[in-house]
Amino acid sequence: MSAFDDLLAFQRQTEALSSVAERLGWDQETVMPRGAVEQRSEEMAAMESVLHERRTDPRIGEWLDQAQAEDDEDQRILDLIARDFHRAARIPARLAMELARQTSLAQGIWADARANEAPQDFLPTLNDILMLKREEAAALADGGDLYDALLDDYEPGTTQAEIAALFDAMRPRLVALREDVLGAEYQPQALKGDFPQETQLRLARACATAYGYDWTRGRMDIAVHPFSSGRWQDSRITTRVVETDPFNCIYSTIHEVGHSSYELGIDSDYAFTPLGRGVSMGAHESQSRIYENQIGRGRAFSGWLYQRMSDAFDGLSVPDADAFYATVNRVTPGYIRTEADEVQYNLHIMLRFDLERDLIAGRLDTDDLVEAWNTRFLKDFGVAVDRPANGVLQDVHWSVGLFGYFPTYALGNVYAGCLHAALRAAVPDLDRFLAAGDAGPAVEWLRENMQRHGGLYPPRELIERATGADVSELPLLDYLEEKFGAIYRL
Amino acid sequence: MSAFDDLLAFQRQTEALSSVAERLGWDQETVMPRGAVEQRSEEMAAMESVLHERRTDPRIGEWLDQAQAEDDEDQRILDLIARDFHRAARIPARLAMELARQTSLAQGIWADARANEAPQDFLPTLNDILMLKREEAAALADGGDLYDALLDDYEPGTTQAEIAALFDAMRPRLVALREDVLGAEYQPQALKGDFPQETQLRLARACATAYGYDWTRGRMDIAVHPFSSGRWQDSRITTRVVETDPFNCIYSTIHEVGHSSYELGIDSDYAFTPLGRGVSMGAHESQSRIYENQIGRGRAFSGWLYQRMSDAFDGLSVPDADAFYATVNRVTPGYIRTEADEVQYNLHIMLRFDLERDLIAGRLDTDDLVEAWNTRFLKDFGVAVDRPANGVLQDVHWSVGLFGYFPTYALGNVYAGCLHAALRAAVPDLDRFLAAGDAGPAVEWLRENMQRHGGLYPPRELIERATGADVSELPLLDYLEEKFGAIYRL
């Protein structure tokens, strides 16, 4: 066995163990008895300990020194392993353990503080985590920018300067579009009615099938916060049901099908290697967004959905497929990121991006975070935050140490805009299929041009290879203006 | 930290990882997408590799040399860790891997051979496994008896000589009872009808609840072959549904509740230590058997069940609770161990015990196994085996290397007989509760006198402490003769 083979055999087992750890997380959120919380936390900690030991195993350094790549694919595998190894090696074991311990505790403290509308109960904990993350960032940055070092975990190769420039370019057109839309004379109706759980789930399954979700390699369960989990031969989705709002279930499902499809679409030869997973959070989100928004909330697919829902619920409160299309794309003022429409979503991200950059840079103290959030929200959205659960306490991310994660959602939207433009050019009659409830040709194009490559290319290169053009915010902005201009009759 | 503390901290993580591996098995049999088989096999192999490395970690030997026990409980923990360590150390890594690989493959080959009624497709594989098990037994036995070395994995401290003596004592009375019962004038009716899945599952849940199954630390799913899985805060049961035979679902459920109750009933201080699990397969089976048979198929509980089933299915084909009691205890000739009644079950075990002892000792070749099985079955049961799936191919055990496991089922029955006699003496008004669908007082007695101790005492000592008497086959035989004598009006 060569050093390369030894390294890959070792990595293969690490990948398998990491997949097991992820499966435990799925189990916890879907089927685990509620009395098993402490036990599961000890099981997860044991898995993390094994994984940490493997990721920092000094033999990896020796194999990397000796391994020879025979082609670009092998070289990329070596680069990805080296990247993870050097990142892991830079973080002292004490810090890694302390971060794992604190973030595990903080999640519960955050949830209680949110339920009690009591940010003061959470902010000291958040400060502890922030200090640990700054320490981690300093260890990783090695003299460079702290925020960039964290961002690199989620969107390798991207910098905050690039993202700031992108967001600066997006903001004026998004703000103007929102103003026009909210001030328009025509306002779409909300959907009214009562929508039984079983029917919603049946429809959600039909939607997943419409996108070619492979039920022999996946399944759907209910979770409080929908997520997708797993890869290769087993990527599962979850959804939730709100009996007054069927779109919650349906579009959550389609979103998660996007994530799972990406994992299931990766070349099976890459399984158990670092190429065998989505290359970045932004790339991942591009798939969930294009499935959910550009395709799922488009006129053609929503027309099919209108018919299916009318049949399933024995009539709907909106009169026809055009009105329904407007309804699924309705823009309303709101506090919550996860409930935001396509027009306003990225503005929610920009707020978080700026605040977390200030926190990491030490320009903002957690003591001043509530005020900073509320001031900024009023400025950006023209509405005062009414209560902490609708403001700074709404997202779990910071409590679990996810600083640098938020901008990847907006990057995903930008990538989705680029991919959608290229997809439409490549498959001009796509709407004909979508109108019949068949997203197959869209999925096939995405699979062929993007998903199958897994981790082979860095994120930006991946999108540029797929689209044949530079990554740019323009396709997304053009799409939004055209779509919402038409819906709101601007 | 003392050597004892270091050893226990290490063991704690091993126990947590072993619990994760078991959870993967549960996932595979209940919720895993069917396309994930190869991936799961690689994940399981990775977990096994980590566990094997930990179980043979040389530091365990050093810690054991230095560790001081402060009381009997600590000493028992050290003894159990030492026992597993020395067993694991005696088996060469090559042999352990080869056994894991072969048995994993053999299970599929066995299933295909059974489906095709083709023992010749399976016997060469079985021979490979037998040779490996003999090699393993020789490594473990260290000059002692091969079969005893294997048996020790499932029922520590018991020998084949003891079991053979026990079986010799049981056989004449069991054979005589079977003869009387099958020849009796009165024969109970079979239950006829169609029993919808959802109603069966609702009844099964009600039965589990009647035994105090803790739903906050468990759940019930459907599996092809019912099993229970997990411990401490999370022990799950599975069941199956045959729409023409509701007893299959109901009594499988109660049986698995017995196994899970044992695990959930262990003192929570023992979690993540070697004391935190049932002490042997025989001890385990004693719980599932007493839940299922002595309690579940008793007159009082079956009277309650009769009423519940009559209500749920809107009438039953048997006229009253007495007839129903006879129906759930119906004795009929049959080939299949898992479908056998209380009278004949142990005779099925005796056949397997003798054949597998001959295989391990080299007195019987796999080439001659079919003939040996069929000859013995005709002798013991008076009926010729009609096809291999009803004969030598019916059980999965040998294909996965479980030689020495079968006798623990019969030992479980013997233990259950002892426990039941003591329970009845301790709780004279038990039937009053059982008749109302409340097995609580029985479960409490078993928990207090047996379950909570986990691995603290060796199996035989555990039963003798609980019952205040030597382990003996007599309570079981007396119980069977009395019960079936009454039912069959002998």
Task: Determine the average pLDDT of the residues in B294-317.
Answer: 97
Task: Determine the average pLDDT of the residues in A454-481.
Answer: 98
Quick one: DSSP state of residue B35?
G
- Locate tokens 């048997």: which residue? B318
Measured CA distances, B8 to A72, A88, B64 (Å): 47, 28, 10
Distance CA A4, CA A65 (A): 10
Tokens of A266: 């990766």
Query: Letter for the amino acid at B418?
Result: C
| Annotated binding-site residue? A285 | yes
Mutation choice for A interface testing from B14, B50, B214 by most A CBs within 10 A = B50
Q: Which of A155, A256, A263, A473 is catalytic?
A: A256
Whether A100 has a pLDDT exceeding 90, the answer reads no
Task: Determine the average pLDDT of the residues in B466-480.
Answer: 98
Task: Determine the average pLDDT of the residues in A164-182.
Answer: 98
Task: Determine the average pLDDT of the residues in B208-228.
Answer: 97
Name the segment(s) of chain A with CATH classification 1.10.1370.30: 144-490
What is this model's ipTM? 0.94
Which strands make up the sheet holding A228-229, listed edge to edge? A220-222, A236-239, A228-229
pLDDT of residue B51: 94
Tens digit of each residue's pLDDT (9 = 90 or more) over A214-230:
999 999 999 999 999 99
Which chain A residues have any C-beta within 8 angstroms of a chain B C-beta?
Answer: 12-13, 16-17, 19-20, 23-24, 27, 31-40, 42-43, 45-47, 49-50, 214-219, 232-234, 236, 271-272
Distance CA B182, CA B381 (A): 12
What's the mean per-residue pLDDT of chain B? 97
Tens digit of each residue's pLDDT (9 = 90 or more) over A310-339:
999 999 999 999 999 999 999 999 999 999
pLDDT of residue A186: 97
CA A483, chain centre distance (Å): 23
Nearest to residue A81, comparing CAs of A63, A100, A106, A95? A63
Segment among A140-144, A338-342, B101-105 with least mean pLDDT: B101-105
Tens digit of each residue's pLDDT (9 = 90 or more) over B350-396:
999 999 999 999 999 999 999 999 999 999 999 999 999 999 999 99
pLDDT band at residue B329, thresholds of 50, 70 and 90?
very high
Whether A421 has a pLDDT exceeding 90, the answer reads yes
Name the segment(s) of chain B with CATH classification 1.10.1370.30: 143-490
Whether A188 has a pLDDT exceeding 90, the answer reads yes
pLDDT of residue B213: 98
Q: Where does B402-456 show beta strands of DSSP type E?
A: none
pLDDT of residue A97: 84
Q: How many helices and strands (H and E) does chain A possess?
A: 20, 3
Whether B100 has a pLDDT exceeding 90, the answer reads no
Distance CA A137, CA A146 (A): 5
Task: Determine the average pLDDT of the residues in B330-351.
Answer: 96
pLDDT band at residue B275, thresholds of 50, 70 and 90?
very high
pLDDT band at residue A36, thresholds of 50, 70 and 90?
very high
Distance CA B436, CA B444 (A): 16
Whether B222 has a pLDDT exceeding 90, the answer reads yes
Overall residue count recorded for chain B in this entry: 490
Which segments of A211-280 does DSSP mark as H helices, in order?
246-265
pLDDT of residue B93: 85
Tokens of A90: 């830079």
Tens digit of each residue's pLDDT (9 = 90 or more) over B13-25:
999 999 999 999 9
pLDDT band at residue A104, thresholds of 50, 70 and 90?
confident
pLDDT band at residue B137, thresholds of 50, 70 and 90?
very high
Percent of chain B with pLDDT over 70: 100
Q: Which distant-in-sequence residues (6+ apart) come within 8 Å of A197 by Cβ?
A: A241, A243
Tell the burial category of B404 from Cβ atoms under 10 Å away from its Cβ (0-12, 13-18, 19+): buried
Domain A144-490 adopts which CATH fold?
Neurolysin; domain 3 (1.10.1370)
Task: Determine the average pLDDT of the residues in B239-266.
Answer: 97
Of B50, B218, B233, the CB nearest to A50: B50
CATH architecture of B143-490: Orthogonal Bundle (1.10)
Residue of A nearest to B233 (CA): A36
Q: Are A229 and A26 in contact (CB under 8 A)?
A: yes
Give the DSSP per-residue string, A48-102.
Answer: HHHHHHHHT-HHHHHHHHH---SSHHHHHHHHHHHHHHHHHHHS-HHHHHHHHHH
What's the mean per-residue pLDDT of chain A? 97
pLDDT band at residue B117, thresholds of 50, 70 and 90?
very high
pLDDT of residue B105: 85
pLDDT of residue B1: 79
For helices B72-90 and B58-66, what crossing angle results, to 10°?
150
Q: Which distant-in-sequence residues (6+ apart) come within 8 Å of A334 by Cβ?
A: A340, A344
Tens digit of each residue's pLDDT (9 = 90 or more) over B264-274:
999 999 999 99
Q: Which long-range contacts (CB under 8 A, 24 or more apart) does B379-382 make?
A: B380/B347, B380/B350, B380/B351, B381/B333, B381/B335, B381/B344, B381/B347, B382/B333
pLDDT of residue A1: 79
pLDDT band at residue A431, thresholds of 50, 70 and 90?
very high
pLDDT band at residue B138, thresholds of 50, 70 and 90?
very high
pLDDT of residue A93: 85
Mapping DSSP to helix (H, G, I), strand (E, B) and coil, where does residue A221 land? strand
Of B24, B35, B50, the CB nearest to A217: B35
Residue of A nearest to B50 (CA): A50
Distance CA A245, CA B5 (A): 54
Nearest to residue B22, comparing CAs of A218, A220, A34, A27? A27
